[in-house]
Amino acid sequence: MDIKKFLSPADAHVDLRASHKTRLLQELARRAAKALDLAPEQISAEILKREELGSTGTGGGVAIPHARIQELNKPFGVFARLNKPIDFEAIDGRPVDLVFLLLLPADPVGEQLKALASVARKLRDPASLRDLRAANGSARLYDAMTA
């Protein structure tokens, strides 16, 4: 699935500040809620509930927090590069600086899993990671994520 289908240029952010994992997830939930006209507490609660099952820190400085949201009918993403890496309890123990929040409709459908797979594939590619970390500004970050 093309990442442009669920990530808009307005939802790519550079130098996002976060003191710890929970604060970061709440901030990303707030940004998503504003774009979707939903309650930030609802999104935050679902994301944090998913994190309780196990960290979505996939390693290599990357995290892909995700949750299903009843009111959605298509995937929605918020992507951020942090101003400094934070502990995310990632699988490799490394701090995280690239975070893609992915919200999915509550009813599981194959297309939704393709959204998660496309983000994971992009954030595993060494050349993509290099470009994302070198991107100068939000527009370039978006371009690097959707190229």
SS3 state of residue 95 = coil
Catalytic residue, chosen from 13, 31, 66, 81, is: 66
Strands (E), 1-147: 12-16, 57-59, 62-63, 66-69, 76-86, 96-105
CA dihedral 138, 126, 61, 36 (to 10 degrees): 40
Backbone φ and ψ for 67, nearest 5 degrees, come out as -160, 160
Does the annotation mark 13 as catalytic?
Answer: no
130 burial via Cβ count (<10 Å: 0-12, 13-18, 19+): exposed
Q: Which residues are catalytic?
A: 66
